[in-house]
Amino acid sequence: MESCEMSLIKYVLFIFNLIFAFAVCLLIIFIIELAVGIVAAVYKNDVGDAFKGALKKSLANYSNNEAEKIAWDDTQTKLRCCGVEGPDDWQGQNLPWSCCHSYDDFGDALSSYCVNVAKGKYQYHTGCYDELKMKINDNAKILIGVGIGIAFVENQTDCRGMMENAQME
């Protein structure tokens, strides 16, 4: 039969081990978050270039692939952009209706006018790459803020657990 003191010591050691394991897990998560942030900052330009290349490849398939056509029309309409870097990306192809302002108001009549007659006047001039990059950068600030907040909470929890653990001893 164990004494009450031995049971209490086992319980305290068990709690200590749980707190220590939790602190180690938090430290590992914090290191991974830090590493991902550093890698993202270092390879930022490479990712941007690869993304731009993928957009250009997708744009080249606009006429041949219905899914790509729908995706480009939706993107250009929602972001109010045209092509990857601008309307000149559509050279050799007909400019799609989604590159034109106010398509919802005038439908195919404006699209035909925009594409064939009033080039430039009713077209979006900004490329979708720049618009997407701006949206990502806007949201990246939010993600960075949330990441810093989570890291701060993790750090405080880790420190508090260690201090409470030290007080137990």
Q: Which residues of 77-108 are buried (b: 16+ CB within 10 A; e: fewer)?
A: bebebbbbbbbebbeeeebbbbbbeebeeeee
Question: How many domains would you assign to the chain?
Answer: 2
Residues 102-132: pLDDT tens digits? 655 555 555 566 666 556 677 888 999 999 8
Whether residue 89 sits in one domain with residue 29: no
Centroid of chain to Cα 44: 12
Bigger pLDDT: 13 vs 101: 13
121, amino acid identity: K
Q: CA-CA distance, 30 to 27, in Å (whole number)?
A: 5
Task: Write the pLDDT tens digit of every residue in 46-98.
Answer: 878 888 999 999 988 888 889 999 999 999 989 999 999 988 888 877 778 88
The answer as to whether 29 is a domain residue is yes
DSSP 87: G
Of residues 74, 77, 76, 93, the one with CA closest to residue 85? 76
In a domain, 159, yes or no: yes
Q: What's the whole-model pTM score? A: 0.58
* CA angle 103–107–108, rounded 5-degree value: 115
Tokens for 85? 């870097």
Query: What's 77's domain CATH number?
Result: 1.10.1450.10
- Indicate if 117 and 74 belong to the same structural domain: yes
Per-residue pLDDT of 35-54, as tens digits, reads 887 887 788 778 788 889 99
Look up the domain containing 156 and give its range. Answer: 10-39+148-169
pLDDT given for residue 102 in this prediction? 64
